[in-house]
Structure 1
């Protein structure tokens, strides 16, 4: 308990404990989640040093077959492509070593019912960064993010936004180290088909009673100066 409090802080620890209690008491039918929304500046400068010459970066299309053991369900992947998302995949020694997803304009979240809307073409959205566990101390992650940086700069994107779980201490720590700008936060409570949201962004409070009802959170470019760092230090699995 002391370690959780030290890593997450008072509010996040309290919500994490409530989430665990709700999940157990409801047999998994109730879920409480808290997200923090951040933006990272997309620099002109490449990530240095850059090694891992044996790592190949590909951007497969929606019709490409999923590799064996791909860690996301096929229906989730299809839904992402249907939204217009693209994925960068890292391959090493003939096997999938990692991937990340990018999307422009808007993204419908996988875990809860919410749409993230980007108010400017200078914004992009990155999500679901995954690196195979045995590759997480190597160069796969850096190669993926350098490819993403180049792709986003070609599209004129200057900030890439993402959401992180407030209950994920490693992710919170990594984002704090790289100088990201916070854009807001939201709490979601799912109870069967019902979902409540309380957020720091408009519409602030929302009740959804079916899959066709969801809030839309709009993100604008940060007004702060770009952070001096431009490298995400840990994969979000």
Structure 2
């Protein structure tokens, strides 16, 4: 076993490593035309207790409206941002010394995925989605995400949201570790294989299998949250960074 493979096993575990190796093999054999992705869906309880202590007084949090335009060098394509706003998503940004330091996106009820053709829907109004969390690399050991998440926590609680759901890549070792530390409830998983215009999905949720031949065809995955609050609720999502 090579050193690289041993490292991947240690980071991802056997199952995710097997999918990861298959994804790399398919991409290589197809010249990059085939893409395999595995997602894990999780939910975390949102506490009504604020994060303390809160530092980073020079970090300013603000919401970017759909008509505001994007700052120079924004790390997402404009058409992706437009599609998110069209779905009703909101974004909070952290600014430090006049520079965009990070952002996260929030949406209620349903969310059309950016990377693959699938729609996620939540069965309860007590749940919402947070997605596409980005922090500038040089800011990831600081207070940027903590300030972002505290602003998001307050907003979600005001809307009566008690659980936030996320989609994480099974091939992202850092994200897997971070979510394991903060304590989450797993809601399911899915594998997507994109082959040109075609897409196959195998999931642990209904409809379990789906074949899409064009952008107008996509499955819908419905997620439900736990009926009870956890015994020791925490809002320590800042452990991601």
- TM-score by structure 1 length? 0.97
Per the TM alignment, residue 234 of structure 1 is displaced from its structure 2 partner at its CA by 2.2
Distance 2:88 2:73 in 1: 23
RMSD: 1.0
Q: What are the within-5 Å matches in structure 2 for residues 19-168 of structure 1? A: 19-168=23-172
Distance 2:227 2:25 in 1: 39
Contact 1:57 1:144 in 2 (8 A): yes
Q: Match for 2:210 among 187, 206, 209? A: 206
Aligned to 1:187: 191
Aligned to 1:9: 13
Aligned length: 235
Distance 1:222 1:174 in 2: 21
**Residue 229 (1) aligns with residue 227 (2):** no
Per the TM alignment, residue 224 of structure 1 is displaced from its structure 2 partner at its CA by 5.5
Q: Runs of 4+ in structure 1 displaced over 6 angstroms? A: none
Distance 2:228 2:117 in 1: 29
Q: Secondary structure at the match of 1:134?
A: helix
Q: Secondary structure at the match of 1:84?
A: coil
Q: Give per-residue Cα distances to partners, 1:184-237, cap 9 Å, x unaligned.
A: 0000011011111111111111111100000000011224542543222225xx
Instruction: After superposing the two structures, state which structure 1 stretch, 5-14 or 108-117, moved more.
Output: 5-14
Contact 2:93 2:102 in 1 (8 A): yes
Unpaired segments ≥5 residues, structure 1: none
Distance 1:140 1:231 in 2: 14
Q: Secondary structure at the match of 1:88?
A: strand
Contact 1:179 1:228 in 2 (8 A): no
Unpaired segments ≥5 residues, structure 2: none
Aligned to 1:219: 223
